A and B are shown apart, each in its own frame.
Chain A
């Protein structure tokens, strides 16, 4: 039984961790800026990074369905195990739903997403102010939910490491060379 995630899984996890924290920070920061060329640039970057995050989460799901992740410690109560699985399901769901809502919001607001200014992502929705405003609320709401879920995710990892003293956190960390 594997006790560690694979290198691919770890790389994707930490790459996305950095990217998603950047996206969240940028997203919350840029929305209150007064309109300026800088703001438009930040919005474009946010959208490009969002598309990238969406592709990365698809890669992670690809890994997930072709690999069996290390099992949860047997010492964990059933209810806690269930909560852990539900939490991960929520993270994956949100990592898919958030970029999708952002893309649809951009479509409805009439600002097409063109990945790195090169690859146009088709507009699935026609320009419509009401739909655009609604999707903006959805995008914000999902992100607040994501922040809460992330806080639980990080809190749980730290609790496992420092209180339960199990391998939940370390199995997602780079393995020291001597152990391999």
Chain B
């Protein structure tokens, strides 16, 4: 069993080494990818997710600085865990999805941090407002696909998400953690 595991690990390593040359991961697999968010409601962590997003991605572990990523998140596909919550955040005070149906992230420079860690600088646009964000991410190759994992924190007020009676942070906190897992296959 142990020998088998070793052999498997070895063959995976050689496979990874061989493929590290010029494998570009670019085929995002929607069914194995997810964008979640977590915020605090009266001090209690609450999770949600976006069910639909489109992405264009190219990442070659041998040339990480050349990597590019664009995400368009369908804000109407939000799942807050409650139907009335989904309706509310689509409204004017929150995302105002009628005027701003999607959020967009466009990557800028990609900095390898050693190992499988990377730092992706980019611009995040929501509700007509654009902010610079830095997104730490890891990349884990897995057969002929690879998984990008990461999370970063935005402040909802920076994007006017939750205006009017929601503008104070005593009930819904300002910080929102965006967590993602993107699986992409190589060509």
Do they bind each other?
yes
| Chain A CB within 8 A of B2 CB | no
The total of chain B residues at the interface (CB under 8 A) is 19
In Å, the complex CA distance between A119 and B81 comes to: 22
In Å, the complex CA distance between A40 and B82 comes to: 12
Distance to closest chain A CB from B168 (angstroms): 7
Task: State whether B46 touches A110 (Cβ < 8 A).
Answer: yes
In Å, the complex CA distance between A48 and B44 comes to: 13
In Å, the complex CA distance between A112 and B41 comes to: 10
Chain B residue numbers with a CB within 8 Å of A36 are 165
Chain B residue numbers with a CB within 8 Å of A127 are 47, 81
Task: State whether B171 touches A41 (Cβ < 8 A).
Answer: yes
Task: State whether B82 touches A109 (Cβ < 8 A).
Answer: yes
| Chain A CB within 8 A of B172 CB | yes
Task: State whether B41 touches A111 (Cβ < 8 A).
Answer: yes
The total of chain A residues at the interface (CB under 8 A) is 16
Nearest A-chain residue to B167, judged by Cβ: A37
Task: State whether B171 touches A110 (Cβ < 8 A).
Answer: no
Report A22-72 residues with CB < 8 Å from chain B CB.
34-38, 40-41, 44
In Å, the complex CA distance between A175 and B44 comes to: 44
| Chain B CB within 8 A of A73 CB | no
Known interface pairs A35-B85, A127-B81; A40-B44 also in contact (CB < 8 Å):
no
Chain B residue numbers with a CB within 8 Å of A117 are 42-44
Distance to closest chain B CB from A81 (angstroms): 46
| Chain B CB within 8 A of A154 CB | no
| Chain A CB within 8 A of B88 CB | yes
Known interface pairs A109-B81, A109-B82, A111-B81; A37-B172 also in contact (CB < 8 Å):
yes
Q: Name A41's contact: one of B42, B44, B45 (CB within 8 Å).
A: B42
Chain A residue numbers with a CB within 8 Å of B45 are 112
| Chain B CB within 8 A of A124 CB | no
| Chain A CB within 8 A of B31 CB | no
Per-position binary interface string of chain B over residues 39-72, scored 1 when its CB falls under 8 Å from any chain A CB and 0 otherwise: 0011111110000000000000000000000000
Chain A residue numbers with a CB within 8 Å of B168 are 37
Task: State whether B44 touches A114 (Cβ < 8 A).
Answer: yes
| Chain A CB within 8 A of B152 CB | no
Task: State whether B81 touches A37 (Cβ < 8 A).
Answer: no
Nearest B-chain residue to A45, judged by Cβ: B42
| Chain A CB within 8 A of B166 CB | yes
Per-position binary interface string of chain A over residues 81-100, scored 1 when its CB falls under 8 Å from any chain B CB and 0 otherwise: 00000000000000000000
Instruction: Sort A-B residue pairs by CB-CB distance and give the 5 closest, nearest first.
Output: A110-B81, A37-B171, A117-B43, A35-B88, A114-B44
Which A residues fall within an 8 A CB radius of B? 34-38, 40-41, 44, 109-112, 114, 117, 120, 127
Which B residues fall within an 8 A CB radius of A? 41-47, 81-82, 84-85, 87-88, 165-166, 168, 170-172
List 5 A–B pairs whose Cβ atoms lie within 8 Å, in order of A's numbering. Answer: A37-B165, A37-B171, A40-B42, A110-B81, A117-B42
